């Protein structure tokens, strides 16, 4: 699971990410049905997690947000202690129920999760909290999410729909599968296309000023080039758009992203928030205490680079845009900070260009930064400077100067 935040006010803001994975094995399966009834009148979702099978997990630990996940009850053994619930399912069929508060407002007053009487936009990985499962090796889940919605409402999620508002959940590498990413339900308008094998949907509440067709055309034009860098790009992609009072920027999630409808596809400085967020979707990486600049720098670098490759901007305008970012980046004395935003990310873009040139020069153009980015996307999870440097040196076939520590911070730092 991962999470990103970007603001309209500063083109490059903050990202936090985290991911959990367990090794997979296969022999026996149990059925895992998540059911969520969306209730506009209470602003809540009534959630049930139902398990059915010859063998069930021995213990499930739910990592709750106590302000949002409330009134837990179960027909089995359940202990709730602050932000943790421990459930021991019993027998061949067991269920746990709770209520989830949908609205969530950020410090700025805008929402990153919202329900009205006509629609709701939220993240399924918030609706269903992280769950650690203790179960026999070889046991694995077959998971579905079923939504119960008011009349006339429909839904869009980045999963295969097997019946109306009923989805099969993919969660690679996890035996206890869980839905992740953005979802939108309600009276919504959506446009769908298959773009280079990616089942792509752009959805928004009906009646809002959202350019679904422009967005889909932009994706038709740029996603195939992004897929050349990241061939493992998810098979489903959901883009959710909405007006105020939703978050005034972009937020990426698993196989999905949210983008405020005021946000241009290409900004004044020639970068693209849409491509930036798609790179986050593609890589699924997060920084450690000093490597967020790698996560943000790659996303911002490719937001220009993909446009250059697709002819969206000329070589001259591309180089000018990176030059301008490099200039702005001089305001950041070091890249080695916990959160990369503004001038830090701008400086990181310059480093990425430098690194790309160095790898191409060292290999007579046979390798590039694409090889490094692709390898990071295969790793997913946390990226460190050491890992990034190792991959870059493998691609170049020799040490790289661009990633010298002295190149990543000013002398006095
Ligand atoms: Zn970002």
Residue 265 lies in a domain: no
Residues 334 and 390 occupy one common structural domain: yes
Residue 22 domain-assigned (yes or no): no
Q: Are both 164 and 293 inside the same structural domain?
A: no
Give me ligand 1 centre to Cα 166, in Å.
Answer: 31
**Residue 136 and residue 240 in one domain:** yes
Q: How far is the CA of 281 from the centre of ligand 1 (A)?
A: 10
Q: 225 C-alpha to center of ligand 1: Å?
A: 19
Spacing, Cα 252 to ligand 1 middle (Å): 8
List the pLDDT tens digit at each of the 413 positions of the chain: 344 445 433 333 334 334 344 444 446 999 999 999 999 999 999 999 999 999 999 999 999 999 999 999 998 899 999 999 999 999 999 999 999 999 999 888 899 999 999 999 999 999 999 999 999 999 999 999 999 999 999 999 999 999 999 999 999 999 999 999 999 999 999 999 999 999 999 999 999 999 999 999 999 999 999 999 999 999 999 999 999 999 999 999 999 999 999 999 999 999 999 999 999 999 999 999 999 999 999 999 999 999 999 999 999 999 999 999 999 999 999 999 999 999 999 999 999 999 999 999 999 999 999 999 999 999 999 999 999 999 999 999 999 999 999 999 998 76
Q: Ligand 1 centroid to 302 CA: how many Å?
A: 11
- Asked if residue 373 belongs to a domain, the reply is yes
Q: Could you tell me if 272 and 243 are in contact, meaning their C-beta atoms sit under 8 angstroms apart?
A: no
For 350, phi then psi, to 5°, come to -60, -40
Measured distance CA(106)–CA(258) in Å, rounded: 15
Establish if 266 belongs to a structural domain.
no
Together in a domain, 228 and 315: no
- Rounded to the nearest angstrom, the distance between the alpha carbon of 250 and the centre of ligand 1 is 8
Q: What are phi and psi of 289, to 5 degrees?
A: -65, -15
CB atoms within 10 A of CB 276: 28
- Burial call 396-405: b when 16+ CB within 10 Å, e when fewer: beeebebbee
Residue 370's domain spans which residues? 284-408
Do residues 206 and 303 both lie within one domain?
no
Distance from residue 265's CA to the centre of ligand 1 (Å):
15
Nearest Cα to Cα of residue 272 among 348, 212, 219: 219
Which pair of tokens denotes residue 56? 């069930």
Centre of ligand 1 to C-alpha 42, Å, is: 33
Do 223 and 309 lie in one domain? The reply is no
Question: Does some domain include residue 136?
Answer: yes
Same domain, 222 and 327: no
Neighbours of ion ligand 1 (CB under 5 A): 4, 15, 296, 299
Domain count, the chain: 2
Q: Are residues 72 and 172 in the same domain?
A: yes
**What is the predicted pLDDT for the residue at 108?**
86
Q: Which of 244, 260, 276 is the last residue of a domain?
A: 260
User: What spacing in Å lies between the alpha carbon of 62 and ligand 1's midpoint?
Assistant: 28
Q: What is the pTM of this model?
A: 0.91
Distance from the alpha carbon of residue 3 to the mean position of ligand 1, in angstroms: 9
72: which residues sit within 8 A by CB, 6+ positions away? 62, 64, 78, 80, 85, 96, 97, 98
**212 in the same domain as 98:** yes
- Reported in sequence order, the residue ranges of 103-181 that DSSP labels E, i.e. its strands, are 104-105, 111-115, 119-123, 131-134, 139-148, 154-156, 160-163, 166-168
Report how far ligand 1's centroid is from the alpha carbon of 203 (Å).
21
- The per-residue pLDDT for 26 is 45
CA of 276 to the centre of ligand 1 (A): 6
* Residue 25 in domain: no
Contact 266/307 with Cβ under 8 angstroms? yes
Sequence-distant (6+) residues with CB within 8 A of 76 are 87, 88, 89, 90, 91, 94, 96
Q: Which residues are CB-contacts of 220 (< 8 A; sequence separation ≥ 6)?
A: 193, 195
Domain harbouring 221, CATH code: 2.60.40.3650
- Residue where one domain finishes, among candidates 260, 292, 323: 260
CA 187 to chain centre: 24
Ligand 1 mean position, distance from CA 13 (Å): 7
Q: Are residues 210 and 94 in the same domain?
A: yes
Rounded distance from Cα 355 to ligand 1 centre (Å): 20
- 275 inside domain: no
Q: Is 272 part of a structural domain of the chain?
A: no
Same domain, 305 and 396: yes
166 with 247, same domain: the answer is yes
* Final residue before a domain boundary, out of 226, 260, 294: 260
Q: Ligand 1 centroid vs 5 CA: distance in angstroms?
A: 7
Distance 300 CA to ligand 1 centre (A): 7
């Amino acid at each position: 699971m991962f999470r990103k935040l970007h603001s309209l006010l500063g083109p490059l803001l903050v990202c936090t990410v985290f991911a959990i994975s367990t090794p997979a094995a296969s022999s026996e399966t149990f059925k895992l049905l998540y059911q969520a009834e969306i209730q506009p009148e209470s602003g809540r979702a009534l959630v049930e997690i139902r398990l059915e099978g010859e063998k069930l997990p021995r213990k499930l630990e739910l990592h709750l947000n106590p302000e949002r996940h409330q009134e837990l009850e179960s027909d089995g053994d359940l202990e709730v202690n602050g932000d943790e619930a421990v459930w021991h399912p019993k027998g061949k069929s067991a269920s746990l129920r709770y209520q989830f508060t949908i609205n969530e407002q950020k410090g700025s007053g805008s929402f990153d999760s919202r329900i009205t009487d006509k629609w709701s936009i939220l993240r399924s990985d918030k609706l269903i909290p992280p769950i650690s499962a203790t179960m026999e090796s070889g046991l694995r889940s077959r998971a579905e999410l079923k939504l119960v919605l008011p009349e006339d409402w429909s839904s869009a999620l980045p999963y295969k729909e097997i019946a109306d508002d009923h989805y099969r959940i993919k969660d690679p590498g996890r035996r206890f599968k869980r839905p992740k990413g953005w979802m939108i339900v309600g009276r919504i308008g959506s446009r769908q296309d298959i773009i280079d094998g990616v089942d792509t949907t752009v959805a928004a509440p009906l009646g809002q000023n959202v350019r679904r067709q422009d967005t889909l055309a932009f994706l038709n034009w740029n996603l195939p080039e992004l897929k050349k860098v990241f061939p493992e790009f998810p098979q489903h992609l959901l883009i959710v758009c909405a007006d105020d009072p939703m978050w005034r920027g972009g937020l990426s999630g698993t196989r999905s992203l949210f983008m405020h409808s005021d946000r241009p596809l290409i900004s004044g400085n020639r970068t693209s928030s849409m491509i930036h967020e798609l790179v986050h979707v593609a890589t699924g990486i997060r920084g450690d205490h000093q490597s967020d600049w790698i996560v943000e720098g790659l996303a911002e670098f490719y937001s220009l680079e993909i446009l250059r490759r697709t002819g969206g901007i000329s070589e001259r305008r591309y180089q000018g845009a990176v030059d301008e970012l490099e200039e702005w980046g001089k305001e950041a004395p070091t890249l080695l900070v916990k959160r990369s935003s503004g001038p830090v990310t701008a400086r990181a873009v310059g480093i990425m260009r430098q690194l790309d040139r160095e790898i191409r020069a060292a290999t007579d153009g046979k390798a590039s930064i694409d090889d490094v980015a692709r390898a990071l996307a295969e790793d997913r999870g946390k990226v460190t400077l050491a890992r990034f440097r190792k991959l870059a040196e493998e691609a170049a076939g020799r040490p790289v100067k661009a990633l010298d520590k002295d190149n990543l911070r000013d002398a006095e730092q």
